[in-house]
Structure 1
Amino acid sequence: MLTDVLVPGNRYDLLDEHPVPRPEVSVVVAHYRQPEQLARTWHALCHQTLRPVEIVIADDGSDPPPEVPTGGPPVRVVTQADLGFRAAAARNLGVAATSGEVLVFLDADTVPEPDFLERLTARVARCSDVLAVGRRRHADLTGLPPGTDPRTLPELPEPAWLRKGYAETRDLLDADGTSFRFVISAVLACRRSLFDDIGGFDERFVGYGGEDWDLAYRAWNNGAVLVHERSAVAWHDGPDWALRGGAGKDAEKDRERTRLAELIPEPGTRRGGPPGGLPDVLVTTEPGPGAALVASSLRDQEHHDMEIGDRWSPDQLLRARVRMRVAGPLPRWAVGAAVRALVDGDLATVVLRRGDTEVATACSTRALGRARRQPTRADVDGFAFGHADLELGPP
């Protein structure tokens, strides 16, 4: 049976004092026309120290589809039409065919080391909020027979940006609202409950890249604990995408950036673009005689990535970083200051006051998401995140 330890903020190191359950792991392997690579991945998954309860090969339209392997854990092949690179949709299709309580995502061109599953899922099994990313190392596996240890081959460079990101965040222990960029779906694990709660992979991502950052953003924004399990190693066949050749890579990267900016309101990702229908801040105003003045003050805010209303789509609720309820007019800097306090301090709420009067309350989606998945815990906000007041000064 899994445990469900609640930790403050992103303090996944506090999980290490708790026993490690043995989770029921379902592995979803994304695949497209890779029979030789899939054979290596399959052999490695059959020889794990933590045996998966099932393996689902999620095929993105190969013709012919992959054959069902034999001689290992229960396995299924699910396939979708070849309508372009649709890794997000393929992975969702694979998850729909699973029954395990913990999901592990691998790509067919990766070979996990024997203890990969055990190490990648250790903290996931302790805490339902954990989204864990393993370490992807690189070598040219061309012609390598299944069962041969990739560590015997010359190693290719790991992505410098990933190494730097993990070093600066102490393997994501010091993660913040920008650290979702260090989560890659080729070596990923989480509870099925967390995956379902945040809506799985977004199938609007068609073409290479972006769907893993988007999933990780929604996870963090809804209270997930990000973990880099550097001892959970899988070997990728060939160099990182950035070091591969091929025409059209710049255009492909531009498409990825555009899609991410549309869907993720984090300022460094949106890069000052218009909020469109997925704003950073969702604002509800109190009705009353001063409503017109309140609305005027909100239109004058320095933080522009916001929308006023009282009915929000599920997509908006998952992606906006902050929800505010406003009862009185605010100075131009107030919304931006509340957002910075919530995000920088990893807080649950900020109350905006004039003396003893509460003028507005700002709540982080991150705290609301974790509390939503912990319905029996009344102290999630205070224990995991905390609160602050912001004095507005005279009107």
Structure 2
Amino acid sequence: MKTSTLISVIVPTYNRADALSVVLDACARQTDRYFEIIVADDGSTDATRRVIERSRRQMPIHLEHVWHPDDGFRLAEIRNKAIAEARGEYLIFLDGDCVPQPDFVAQHRALAERGTMVTGSRILIGRSLTHLVVKNKVSLYGRSLVFWLAQRIKGETNKLLPLFVKLPRWPRRPERSFKWRGIKGCNMAAWANDVAIVNGFDESYMGWGHEDADFVVRLHNAGIRRKKGFMATEVLHLWHEEAPRDRADRNRQRVLQCLSDRRIAAQTGLAQTLAKARSDADAVVAA
């Protein structure tokens, strides 16, 4: 991708202001500077707004805050609202508790190619190291191999190699046969035009689980090839309690059905979000 192509980094969050602060700080330190950030806020309290306002004053990157009221788990909807506000031709999805390495945007730019999307992976950070990062403001930047070996021995991280070795032009990146497993919504990217074709994220998914896989499957059904971000775009996923997974099995079956039916468009997605926004704007003008 050209260096003159604007990228939009969409960062979903919900009531985890301390982690979001670390993520936004990492975004401000990117080696590639031609991108914007849109925080997709699924109904957080004022603590999150204050973090965003403070980051906006200090950050050299354009930062937007898209929020809607807390009405249960509505990750797909707030992502679509953020997509609707995005100005970039290319969209990177990064969770609000996943700390990007300094070359994260640059690596995604290097991997971007028309007709493809990128799904990356994550490095898990344990509870104790997460506490040091978010509470004691211990930076993960520039840490030595000795530091990370110590964390690995203590069980505070599950991977080391992607922190020190990058393979941006690895020939095995495009998948020869599609596999929907292993998709991580905390680190993936696609062209905005392709996202519009599949109608964004499907808001009809209820509860946690597999709405990210549904998004990738529909891109695949639309003819978009999946590329692996392995050993290039890894993010540091801060520890958190697991979300309730009572809907995971039913959502998984929906993904498998979507793949079987070769469905492309989300049942309720980006187009409906845009239509509602226009309707709300017209109502304000009429009033």
TM-score using structure 1 length: 0.54
Listed as ranges, the matches of 1:218-257 within 5 Å are 218-230=218-230, 231-238=232-239, 249=245, 251-257=246-252
Rounded Cα–Cα distance in structure 2 between residues aligned with 1:252 and 1:85: 12
Rounded Cα–Cα distance in structure 1 between residues aligned with 2:142 and 2:70: 31
Preserved CA contact (<8 Å) 1:214 1:264: yes
**CA offsets, 1:164-188, max 9 Å, x none?**
xxxxxx85533424x1323221011
- Partner SS, residue 66 of structure 1: helix
- Equivalent in the alignment of 1:71: 58
1:81 has 2:69 as partner = yes
- 1:114, distance to aligned residue in structure 2 (A): 0.3
Rounded Cα–Cα distance in structure 1 between residues aligned with 2:221 and 2:115: 12
Preserved CA contact (<8 Å) 1:180 1:220: no
Q: 116, 119, 134: which one pairs with 2:120? A: 134
Preserved CA contact (<8 Å) 2:37 2:62: yes
When residues 95 and 220 of structure 1 are mapped into structure 2, their CA distance, relative to the original with a 3 A threshold, is same
**Bigger helix fraction:** 2
When residues 77 and 157 of structure 1 are mapped into structure 2, their CA distance, relative to the original with a 3 A threshold, is same
Amino acid corresponding to residue 59 of structure 1 in structure 2:
D
Rounded Cα–Cα distance in structure 2 between residues aligned with 1:110 and 1:96: 22
Amino acid corresponding to residue 109 of structure 2 in structure 1:
T
- Number of matched residues? 233
- Partner SS, residue 92 of structure 1: helix
Runs of 5+ consecutive residues of structure 2 not aligned to the other structure? 160-170, 267-287
Listed as ranges, the matches of 1:39-50 within 5 Å are 39-50=21-32
- Equivalent in the alignment of 1:193: 193
Amino acid corresponding to residue 138 of structure 1 in structure 2:
L
When residues 171 and 237 of structure 1 are mapped into structure 2, their CA distance, relative to the original with a 3 A threshold, is farther
Rounded Cα–Cα distance in structure 2 between residues aligned with 1:197 and 1:181: 22
- 1:228, distance to aligned residue in structure 2 (A): 0.9
TM-score using structure 2 length: 0.73
RMSD of aligned Cα (Å): 2.5
- Equivalent in the alignment of 1:264: 258
Rounded Cα–Cα distance in structure 1 between residues aligned with 2:106 and 2:264: 34
When residues 176 and 150 of structure 1 are mapped into structure 2, their CA distance, relative to the original with a 3 A threshold, is farther
Runs of 5+ consecutive residues of structure 1 not aligned to the other structure? 3-19, 159-169, 267-279, 282-315, 320-395
When residues 55 and 146 of structure 1 are mapped into structure 2, their CA distance, relative to the original with a 3 A threshold, is farther
Higher relative contact order, chain-length normalized (CA < 8 Å, sep 6+): 2
When residues 89 and 317 of structure 1 are mapped into structure 2, their CA distance, relative to the original with a 3 A threshold, is closer
- 1:22, distance to aligned residue in structure 2 (A): 4.5
- 1:318, distance to aligned residue in structure 2 (A): 4.5
Rounded Cα–Cα distance in structure 1 between residues aligned with 2:70 and 2:247: 19
When residues 202 and 116 of structure 1 are mapped into structure 2, their CA distance, relative to the original with a 3 A threshold, is same
Listed as ranges, the matches of 1:19-58 within 5 Å are 21-58=3-40
Preserved CA contact (<8 Å) 1:103 1:191: yes
Runs (4 or more) in structure 1 with deviation over 6 Å come to none
Which structure has the greater CA radius of gyration?
Answer: 1
When residues 176 and 37 of structure 1 are mapped into structure 2, their CA distance, relative to the original with a 3 A threshold, is same
Preserved CA contact (<8 Å) 1:128 1:194: no
Identical-pair percentage:
26
